[in-house]
């Protein structure tokens, strides 16, 4: 799912090296009160640079975006995602309630599994994209984007109706740490060897989009094999009181394997390369799921809130991947144009890909552009940079 990140540094210019490029990160309306992760002091001690996101002070980078990006692709990166929203849905009708409230069918997933889904408005637009974990027969955990915490909680609460279910916001009682990259399992296994992390089952048996219960120093942990980077990895939901100890233990165990703390800037370039949508860029209330390539997430065989408006207009723009020539990155909002200057789309996310070495972008374009050959470009501050439509994702781990 797409955790949102904060606005990038507008003083950085195009044509810089990948290490210096600041990707477009989603700007959220700041909250009145500044909020801090339970790991804030740990990040300060590690020399992190911070950015404001929806009132949260979150680490955007520790060293360089490029170094942190490459560490995730080659070894492992450690992310603080404690600003995300965790909503418990519990009760005899929990599955049926979620089937009605969300676009997917959640009642059919097995205990210990997770599913990506969408929370739609009554008109069919995307309120948020979510990951839903089934923890027990009548016990689900819904994880929403940070800046959509109130919108998601409010929308779910308004849909309870006659369902025998409770919906509780547990965000303030939950810290979330993600470890992502090919060395992730080995690093967690090192904590198992040290008797600090004790999963109910061996980590090797935990497949993608599965979750199991564990303890860390006798404190409960939900351990999920999920992530938002295009790499193998895990997300650990823990009590905020033990988050700093868990973070330090992972840094110690992972250091010899190349693990580094990583900020939200590198997380954004990682998800972009993996073709994963970001709320506020590729997703929003004005976007229907099929436009963003998420038609597969919607189960049209059942009724749900937003079902009547889920189909986009025939001429609605659709999301595509673009590769650009040269090294100048396309940014969100830049026009996609034909060779005669006609605007046929708009870039939603773009960066000079650290892994691939050339610029990549996602954009909403007119439907007839999808099959177009030569003759497309992105208007980068008055210069038409040749671009080609490509299939997503840009990067897929081997």
Helices (H), 166-297: 184-193, 240-254, 264-273
Two structure tokens written together for 51 = 């950015």
Domain boundaries, the chain: 18-82+174-273, 85-172, 313-390
- What is residue 14's predicted lDDT score, i.e. its pLDDT? 29
| φ, ψ for residue 388, nearest 5 deg | -130, 140
pLDDT at 375: 87
Structure tokens at 194: 């040290």
Whole-number pLDDT of residue 21: 38
The CA distances from residue 282 to 26, 103, 216, 347, in Å, are 10, 18, 36, 9
pLDDT of residue 2: 52
Q: Which fold has domain 85-172?
A: Alpha-Beta Plaits (3.30.70)
Q: What is the pLDDT of residue 7?
A: 31
Residue that the structure tokens 């025998």 belong to: 164
Architecture of domain 313-390: Beta Barrel (2.40)
On whether the CB atoms of residues 221 and 239 are closer than 8 A, the answer is: no
Q: What is the pLDDT of residue 387?
A: 96
Residues 9-38: b if buried by 16+ CB within 10 A, e if exposed: eeeeebeeebeebbbbbbbbeeeeeebbbb
Distance of CA 383 to CAs 14, 179, 337, 341, Å? 12, 39, 11, 11
d(CA 272, CA 392): 10
Domain range 18-82+174-273, CATH class: alpha beta
Question: DSSP character for 279?
Answer: B
The full DSSP string for 42-90 is HHHHTT-EEEEETTEEEEEESS-HHHHHHHHHHSEEEEE-TTSEEEEEE
Do 338 and 397 form a contact (C-beta atoms < 8 A)? no
Q: What is the pLDDT along the chain (398 residues), one digit of tens a residue?
A: 654 433 333 222 223 333 333 444 444 444 457 899 999 999 999 999 999 987 899 999 999 999 999 999 999 999 999 999 999 999 999 999 999 999 999 999 999 999 999 999 999 999 999 999 999 999 999 999 998 999 999 999 999 999 999 999 999 999 999 999 999 999 999 999 999 999 999 999 999 999 999 999 999 999 999 999 999 999 999 999 999 999 999 999 999 999 999 999 999 999 999 999 999 999 999 999 999 999 999 999 999 999 999 999 999 999 999 999 999 999 999 999 999 999 999 999 999 999 999 999 999 999 998 877 678 999 999 999 999 999 999 999 98
User: What whole-number distance in Å separates Cα of residue 113 and Cα of residue 224?
Assistant: 9
pLDDT given for residue 15 in this prediction? 31
What DSSP character marks residue 247?
Answer: H
């Amino acid at each position: 799912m797409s955790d949102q990140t904060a606005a990038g540094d507008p003083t950085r210019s195009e044509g810089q090296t990948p290490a210096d490029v600041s990707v477009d990160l989603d700007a959220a309306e700041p909250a009145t009160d500044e909020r801090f992760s339970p790991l804030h002091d740990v990040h300060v001690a590690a020399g992190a640079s911070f950015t404001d996101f929806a009132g949260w002070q979150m680490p955007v980078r520790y060293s360089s975006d490029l170094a942190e990006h490459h560490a995730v692709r080659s070894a492992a990166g450690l992310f603080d995602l404690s600003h995300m929203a965790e909503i418990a849905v519990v009760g005899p009708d929990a599955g049926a309630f979620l089937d009605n409230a969300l676009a997917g069918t959640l009642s059919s997933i097995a205990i210990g599994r997770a599913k990506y889904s969408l929370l739609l408005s009554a008109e069919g637009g995307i309120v948020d994209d979510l990951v839903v974990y089934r923890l027990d027969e009548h016990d689900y955990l819904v994880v929403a984007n940070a800046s959509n915490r109130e919108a998601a909680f409010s929308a779910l609460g308004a849909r309870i109706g006659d369902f025998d279910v409770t919906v509780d916001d547990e965000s303030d009682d939950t810290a979330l740490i993600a470890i992502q990259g090919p060395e992730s399992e080995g690093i967690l296994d090192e904590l198992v060897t040290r008797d600090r992390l004790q999963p109910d089952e061996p980590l090797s048996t935990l497949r993608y989009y599965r979750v199991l219960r564990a303890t860390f120093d006798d404190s409960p942990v939900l351990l999920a094999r999920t992530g938002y980077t295009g790499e193998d990895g895990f997300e650990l939901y823990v009590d905020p009181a033990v988050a700093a100890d868990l973070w330090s233990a992972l840094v110690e165990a992972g250091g010899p394997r190349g693990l580094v703390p990583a900020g939200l800037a590198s997380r954004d370039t990682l998800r972009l390369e993996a073709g994963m949508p970001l709320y506020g860029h590729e997703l929003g209330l004005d976007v229907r799921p099929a436009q963003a390539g998420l038609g597969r997430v919607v189960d049209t065989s059942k009724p749900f809130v937003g079902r009547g408006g889920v189909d986009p207009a025939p001429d609605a723009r659709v999301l595509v991947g673009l590769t650009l020539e040269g090294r100048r990155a396309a940014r969100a909002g830049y026009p996609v144009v034909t060779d005669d200057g006609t605007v046929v789309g708009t870039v939603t996310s773009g960066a000079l890909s650290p892994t691939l070495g050339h610029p990549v972008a996602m954009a909403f374009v007119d439907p007839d552009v999808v099959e177009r050959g030569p003759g497309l470009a992105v208007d980068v501050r008055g210069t038409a940079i040749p671009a080609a439509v490509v299939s997503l994702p840009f990067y897929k781990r081997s």
